[in-house]
């Protein structure tokens, strides 16, 4: 007898396609509709020359993927990272479509990236890379076509440079082409905290569903960048005990709770590992801690078939994009672990990006309180919609989230007469 073995894929594009197939099957969608959703409608590869500080010229490669614009213009971040790949960018654009669909935003998904290591470049070189990439993709983006935003190793300043470059090429000030900008250039109050804040709203709602209070919850966070660091602070303020955090160099763990003010100061001025050798823990071991809430807030594929069985958290809230493989997802579901999927858990970022875009188009700006109030309503309502559908179909939250998003996108495609 021959036993067939299914190899686990870590290719994010193949993972995204598997997730579409799973949700489409539950919805009984025709194959031609799922085939459209499994591929980006447009993918751009660019190569652009940049003059370096030493006078040499280096050619950088970048990508922009636009997945589906049936509901509205595409929307999604731009990352600067040495490991950016075309398949990664295509997958991330798909996840952005579903993220927007879950929370009901009038967007499709887009994503971009430049292959570079920001740590190796001066501020001047990063500015030239940012402007060079925008020049290369300018004909394909715009306030009503495709709206980029910050992502891994890009920030408000990066977006400011890109917006300025686009505006010069267009011959008119165009703040709506980019979100996540500095406030003075049309950024939205609350945008910097939005991804973490949205994730925290879903975590607190999930704890409430379980009959637990925040003060009863312990939290471990893998990734102490923007989202992870802010989520730690917000959960601490809500009453949770943050016991472990990590970054690319390693992690720290104290079952009695970390001094987050001290951790933040070390992150800014030295290394979180200077917290004390006795508190050191590896990124891998952090994922397996016996905590109430585990937040993967770094990159893709950190929870796989190799470690899923060792995960002990009650709730896994995916602040990162694609941190859990389909094989690992099945293991977590079988163990009864609640996974708040990335397309819901980290949708706060794109939601407030949408708010920023709306404010740019109106040239009328809201207070931070108004932004956060609107964000909370969308995140809590979306969480409940996903939770209720999961119960109705007896599926996990990820499949329910994809079902909601895919149903909305396919309805828009049908209304347009595409399928």
Report the catalytic residues. Answer: 111
Instruction: State how far the Cα of 27 lies from the Cα of 399, in Å rounded to an integer.
Output: 10
Cβ(184)–Cβ(173) below 8 Å: no
Instruction: State how far the Cα of 239 lies from the Cα of 228, in Å rounded to an integer.
Output: 17
SS3 of 16, please? helix
Instruction: State how far the Cα of 205 lies from the Cα of 215, in Å rounded to an integer.
Output: 14
Cβ(85)–Cβ(44) below 8 Å: no
| Residues contacting residue 366 through CB under 8 Å, at least 6 positions apart | 188, 189, 355, 359, 374
Instruction: State how far the Cα of 220 lies from the Cα of 214, in Å rounded to an integer.
Output: 14
Size (the chain), residues: 419
Instruction: State how far the Cα of 339 lies from the Cα of 15, in Å rounded to an integer.
Output: 16
Instruction: State how far the Cα of 195 lies from the Cα of 319, in Å rounded to an integer.
Output: 7
Please give the C-alpha separations between residue 369 and each of 187, 397, 410, in angstroms, as whole numbers: 15, 29, 35
């Amino acid at each position: 007898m021959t036993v067939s073995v299914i190899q686990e894929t870590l290719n994010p594009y193949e993972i995204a396609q598997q997730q579409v197939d799973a949700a489409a099957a539950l919805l009984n969608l025709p194959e031609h509709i799922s085939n459209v959703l499994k591929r980006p409608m447009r993918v751009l590869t660019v190569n652009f020359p940049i003059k370096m500080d030493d006078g040499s010229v280096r050619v950088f490669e970048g990508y922009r993927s636009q997945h589906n614009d049936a509901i509205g213009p595409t929307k999604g971040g731009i990352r600067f990272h040495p490991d950016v790949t075309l398949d990664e960018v295509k997958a991330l654009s798909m996840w952005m479509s579903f993220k927007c669909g879950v929370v009901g935003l009038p967007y499709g998904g887009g994503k971009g990236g430049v292959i570079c290591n920001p740590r190796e470049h001066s501020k001047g070189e990063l500015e030239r890379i940012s402007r060079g990439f925008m020049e290369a993709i300018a004909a394909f983006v715009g306030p009503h076509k495709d709206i980029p935003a910050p992502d891994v190793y890009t920030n408000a300043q990066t977006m400011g440079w890109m917006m300025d470059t686009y505006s010069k090429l267009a011959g008119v000030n165009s703040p709506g082409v980019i979100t996540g900008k500095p406030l003075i250039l049309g950024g939205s109050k609350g945008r910097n905290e939005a991804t973490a804040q949205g994730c925290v709203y879903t975590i607190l709602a999930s704890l409430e569903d379980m009959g637990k209070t925040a003060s009863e919850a312990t939290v471990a966070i893998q990734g102490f960048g923007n989202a992870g660091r802010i989520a730690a602070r917000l959960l601490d303020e809500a009453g949770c005990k943050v016991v472990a955090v990590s970054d690319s160099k390693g992690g720290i763990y104290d079952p009695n709770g970390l001094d987050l003010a001290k951790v933040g100061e070390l992150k800014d001025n030295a290394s979180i590992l200077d917290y004390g050798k006795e508190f050191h823990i590896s990124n891998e071991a952090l994922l397996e801690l016996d905590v109430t809430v585990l937040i993967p807030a770094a990159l893709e594929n950190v929870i796989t078939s190799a470690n899923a069985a060792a995960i002990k958290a009650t709730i896994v809230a995916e602040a990162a994009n694609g941190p859990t493989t389909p094989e690992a997802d099945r293991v977590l579901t079988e163990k009864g672990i609640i996974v708040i999927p990335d397309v819901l858990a980290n949708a706060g970022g794109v939601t407030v990006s949408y708010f920023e875009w709306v404010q740019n188009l109106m040239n009328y700006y809201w207070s931070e309180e108004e932004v956060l109030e609107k964000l909370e309503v969308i995140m809590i309502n979306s969480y409940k919609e996903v939770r209720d559908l999961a119960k109705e179909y007896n599926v996990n939250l990820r499949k329910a989230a994809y079902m909601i998003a895919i149903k909305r996108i396919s309805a828009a495609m049908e209304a347009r007469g595409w399928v």
